[in-house]
């Protein structure tokens, strides 16, 4: 049984997959542009897109911004270990992290650390301020290990399909 069958969502056909790939590459393609690329008229393409949105395959449409131009060029990955592991402490940490705009991604992970954060700030001084005045003020952080990005080699928002 495939993953799609387990989720009781209608299976995708080749055209659906092509539409998803095209939208991942450039989400602002018009229905007319998509239709010409998949060799269909606009109405069936529009209906397919609505089906993909309703089925949860398409979660959102976004613009990918240039962090450097927006003065958020320092990217830091931070591993967090909590002091204690209770449901209340974990839930509170998640609530607190969701309020910090500098944290652009947060993952609950296994291994030596509990959470993996992606943080975007303007420079090292801003990161120091963030750690001291925001991250450091959160309850029950046992340790934090920061890794600074020196250069971005590959950054893809696409899901391989």
Predicted confidence pLDDT, tens digits, the chain (161 residues): 455 445 566 789 999 999 999 999 999 999 999 999 999 999 999 999 999 999 999 999 999 999 999 999 999 999 999 999 999 999 999 999 999 999 999 999 999 999 999 999 999 999 999 999 999 999 899 999 999 999 999 998 899 99
Residues of the chain with CATH 1.10.10.10: 10-54
The answer to whether the predicted template modeling score (pTM) of the entire model surpasses 0.95 is no
Instruction: Give pLDDT, residue 95.
Output: 96
Supply φ then ψ for residue 82, to 5 degrees.
-80, 150
For domain 74-148, which architecture applies? 2-Layer Sandwich (3.30)
Contacts of 126 (CB under 8 A, 6+ apart): 74
Instruction: Give pLDDT, residue 13.
Output: 95
Supply φ then ψ for residue 43, to 5 degrees.
-60, -50
Residues of the chain with CATH 3.30.70.920: 74-148
Beta carbons within 10 angstroms of residue 16's beta carbon: 19
Alpha carbon distance 113, 115 (integer Å) = 6
Instruction: Give pLDDT, residue 159.
Output: 92
Kindly report the CATH class assigned to 10-54. mainly alpha
């Amino acid at each position: 049984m495939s993953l799609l069958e387990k989720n009781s969502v209608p299976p995708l056909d080749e055209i659906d997959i092509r539409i998803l790939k095209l939208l991942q590459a450039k989400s602002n393609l018009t229905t007319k542009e998509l239709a010409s690329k998949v060799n269909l008229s606009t109405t069936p393409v529009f209906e397919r897109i609505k089906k993909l949105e309703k089925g949860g395959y398409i979660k959102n449409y976004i613009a990918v911004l240039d962090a450097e131009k927006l003065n958020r060029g320092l990217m830091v990955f931070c591993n967090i270990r909590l002091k204690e592991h209770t449901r209340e402490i974990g839930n509170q940490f998640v609530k607190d992290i969701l309020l910090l705009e500098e944290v652009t991604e947060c993952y609950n992970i296994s291994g030596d650390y509990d959470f993996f954060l992606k943080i975007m700030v303007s420079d090292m001084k801003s990161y120091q301020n963030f750690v001291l005045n925001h991250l450091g003020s959160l309850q029950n952080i046992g340790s934090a290990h920061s890794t600074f990005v020196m250069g971005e080699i590959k950054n893809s928002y696409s899901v391989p399909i």
